[in-house]
Amino acid sequence: MIPVQEPTDAVAQPTLRAKRLGLHTQHQAVVIMRTDCHVCRSEGLAARSQVLVSTGNREVQATLFQIEGGELIGLDEIALSETAWTILGVADGEAVKVTHAPAIESLASVRRRIYGNRLDASAFAAIVNDVVAGRYTDVHLAAFLTASAALPLDEEETADLTGAMVEVGDRMRWDAPIVVDKHCIGGLPGNRTTPIVVAIVASHGLIMPKTSSRAITSPAGTADTMETLAPVDLDIATLRRVVEAEGGCIAWGGAVHLSPADDIFLRVERELDVDTEGQLIASVLSKKISAGSTHVVIDIPVGATAKVRSEEVASHLAERIGAVAARFGLTATCLQTDGSQPVGRGIGPALEAFDVLAVLQNASGAPDDLRRRAATLAGAALEIGGKARRGEGTRLALETLAEGRAWAKFEAICEAQGGMRTPPTASNVHPVVAPHAGRIVHIDNRKLARLAKLAGAPEAKAAGVRMNVRLGHEIDKGQPMLHVHAETRGELAYALEYASRADDIVKVEP
């Protein structure tokens, strides 16, 4: 046997000193090392290698980038992105160990799916566990999501993915026989019914722990809009306290550990601009199951430029949602609604928040379509919860709004979540006018959403579009059809340039 000496200080070790670089990489763990670093040489590390950085009992898998010499980092240093720094919880100069990342066995299942093979529950469980553990890069995530779109998930796979997403996170349970929830499939700008529905339902004593997502492909998600009115970054303890006090909440799902894989998938889906049926169902239902809901009302807008284009597709989606939900003891009630044009007037976080406030406060000129749509969804929940007889839920919901009960409950929920805020307003507003007199015959939801995003939404909370017309309205030449709101002149100019090219965003027929 050849004796092996213990390493001495003179022998290079695979450790480096951590350095905070202040590099923001949008949730990706990234590290930077010098090409002539002894760890890179001894470990054979090259740019875009996956490395495991560890200290004590904490570790992070990260993508490596390299630089040639320079003064940015020393030979014995490793620079960490903000995401990697937060996960590791290290201090400047603290020693960290750097090695090759271990092989990710679940990627074999992703490759099988790419080549057209179905996956079982154990394969989905392994994939989701690795995703939540931070072992998947955005390339791996995109490959999995694309493979799940090219060959759509069947019902069994959708249920298995849903179960895997539930099991990897926390689950809440409530001391109530009925816990209601709601969700909108999306694709309809301005459809911000959730804050109104929660306020109505909770004011009647039902439990509604609503967690919502940020925008995926839209100019605003419920969490983006609600954040302009009250804090939404609630941890589970705070969420439970708010619900126990007020019966409901409107919180960002990413702040709690309920189906944590969902927000990771949503982030990459946003980059890819995809939202496939199987992923959509698993995303929606995993959050509802994890939140402890027993019943959920699903809003499915149907329209030529909505996410769901026909009643046949909507019926199929409703059937699939109901079947998968039933496997987990969750009852889903799906309602097909009008998706031919935007809801309310505002498109964008703050602009939609002003519509919500107008409806809740019974303001003169509040958008009636938003009021009635929210009342329909809330009415279904009131009927499910035994607070209204069948067919009378919508009437009770409208009465609750008119009497001010919903507004009082919404104020109480906002205060419990950390205090009510005033939504911001944009400093740059410009009209898009009718090219000629006529009648509004078509409004393109997708192009409107694109216009609002070009104006800065949802990142710029005050940005977006405010509608002045609806289908069937008569309009004069030069009369504003909509106003673009932007926080900077550059974003306003960019959005208006798009509007000038996409002249059929709002179609006027002479």
Catalytic residues: 275
- Residue 207 DSSP label: B
Longest dimension (CA), the chain: 95
The contacts of residue 306 (CB under 8 Å, 6+ apart) are 187, 188, 339, 340, 445
- The angle subtended at Cα 423 by Cα 422 and Cα 429, nearest 5°, is 135
Token couple for 214: 């940020």
Report yes or no: 375 and 359 within 8 Å, Cβ to Cβ: no
Cα–Cα dist 279/331, whole Å: 19
Pairing of strands 331-338, 464-467: unpaired
Token couple for 37: 């670093």
Residue at token pair 């213990």: 6
The one-letter code for the residue type at 233 is D
Cα–Cα dist 195/433, whole Å: 32
The contacts of residue 41 (CB under 8 Å, 6+ apart) are none
Sign, Cα dihedral of 341, 343, 346, 349: negative
- Residue 340 DSSP label: S
Cα–Cα dist 482/432, whole Å: 5
Token couple for 130: 């690795």
